[in-house]
């Protein structure tokens, strides 16, 4: 049975226009974020083992898929359906990325699409690179989960649990890296991988609205960028995505490499996901009633 087949998401209420205009960084709550960036320097003392390198590769690309295929294309845009069990796997896997819970991530992203490049957009690049890249996540205004924008998935208690205790997935991964690779595995396989995963993800907010080409005349500044697409498993085809956010495929032509889409095709073939939304052609029109 589909985990979402009987749940119809209501249209999200509009947040206050000035919600993100203050943009004050909460220095105290931001300290762990900056400490994360310093921990990889401990590799000077732990060394870099081959096991740590393997863990780095696996945790970077594995978590990248959980963000792109799970947090983004599933939770944010409902681009396919799946079982309740695999829905939990996607939420737990995305939680290992240390980017908060699926409800917070997807709810914030839906607001980005609903108000793209407007004052209500949580990370509009019109406020500058620093804000759109990571400043917005360090502010009190963006800390609460926008439950009004994610009422469909907020109906699941297990997702609310993971969203509230979002440290459980990533602490589990950190302990796994430590057990498998020792201190080097923890420093390189978890912390360094996490920091690079963060900034790879953030680049879609900060650069994919600034550098690249525009195939479609959307109402925002979204752009297509090959290098960002390669780094983020297809998310760099951002203008395509803003043109038709509800489809599971973002690279719309054979030359637009979209690794997340290829993995989703495989999952569809083996029956893990279904009702995958596809464009009828590369000139697909956005259904305004989709809401996100």
Q: Is the pLDDT of residue 277 over 70?
A: yes
Residue 13 domain flag: no
Residue 159 domain flag: yes
Residue 232 domain flag: yes
Distance CA 129, CA 135 (A): 9
Q: Which residues constitute the domain of residue 172?
A: 27-279
pLDDT in tens, 105-116: 999 899 888 877
Of 55-59, 160-164, 220-224, 287-291, minimum mean pLDDT range: 287-291
Residue 87 domain flag: yes
pTM for this predicted structure: 0.86
Distance CA 214, CA 192 (A): 33
| 141 Cβ contact list (under 8 Å, min separation 6) | 19, 20, 22, 23, 24
pLDDT in tens, 117-163: 677 766 777 677 777 787 777 777 677 888 999 999 999 999 999 99
pLDDT top residue among 1 and 132: 132
pLDDT in tens, 40-88: 999 999 999 999 999 999 999 999 999 999 999 999 999 999 999 999 9
Distance CA 247, CA 17 (A): 29
The beta strands (E) that lie in the chain are given as: 81-82, 273-274
Contact (CB, 8 A) for 117 and 124: yes
Residue 21 domain flag: no
Residue 221 domain flag: yes
Residue 35 domain flag: yes
Domain count within the chain: 1
Phi, psi of 116 (to 5 degrees): -55, 125
Distance CA 169, CA 180 (A): 17
Q: What SS3 state is found at 116?
A: coil
Residue 44 domain flag: yes
pLDDT in tens, 239-270: 999 999 999 999 999 899 999 999 999 999 99
Instruction: Write down the pLDDT at residue 210.
Output: 86
């Amino acid at each position: 049975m589909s985990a979402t087949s009987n749940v119809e998401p209501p249209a999200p209420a509009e947040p206050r226009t000035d919600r993100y205009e203050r943009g004050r960084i909460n220095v105290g709550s931001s300290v762990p974020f900056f400490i994360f960036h310093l921990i990889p320097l401990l590799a000077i003392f732990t060394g870099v083992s081959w096991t740590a390198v393997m863990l780095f590769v696996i945790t970077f690309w594995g978590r990248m898929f959980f963000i792109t295929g799970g947090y983004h294309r599933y939770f944010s845009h409902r681009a396919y359906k799946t079982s309740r069990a695999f829905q939990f796997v996607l939420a737990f896997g995305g939680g290992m990325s240390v980017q908060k819970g699926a409800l917070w991530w997807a709810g914030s992203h839906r607001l980005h699409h609903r108000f793209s490049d407007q004052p209500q957009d949580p990370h509009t690049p019109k406020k500058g690179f620093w804000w759109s890249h990571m400043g917005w996540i360090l502010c009190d205004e963006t800390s609460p989960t926008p439950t009004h924008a994610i009422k469909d998935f907020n109906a699941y208690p297990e997702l609310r649990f993971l969203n509230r205790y979002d440290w459980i997935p990533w602490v589990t991964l950190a302990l796994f890296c430590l057990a498998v690779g020792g201190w080097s595995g923890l420093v390189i396989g978890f912390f360094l991988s996490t920091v690079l995963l963060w900034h790879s993800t953030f680049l879609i907010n900060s650069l994919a609205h600034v550098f690249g080409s525009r195939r479609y005349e959307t109402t925002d500044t979204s752009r297509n960028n090959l290098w960002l697409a390669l780094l983020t498993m297809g998310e760099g085809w951002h203008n395509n995505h803003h043109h038709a956010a509800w489809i599971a495929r973002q690279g719309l032509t054979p030359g637009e490499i979209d690794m997340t889409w290829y993995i989703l095709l495989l999952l569809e073939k083996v029956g893990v996901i279904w009702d995958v939304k596809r464009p009828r052609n590369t000139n697909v029109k956005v259904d305004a009633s989709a809401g996100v």
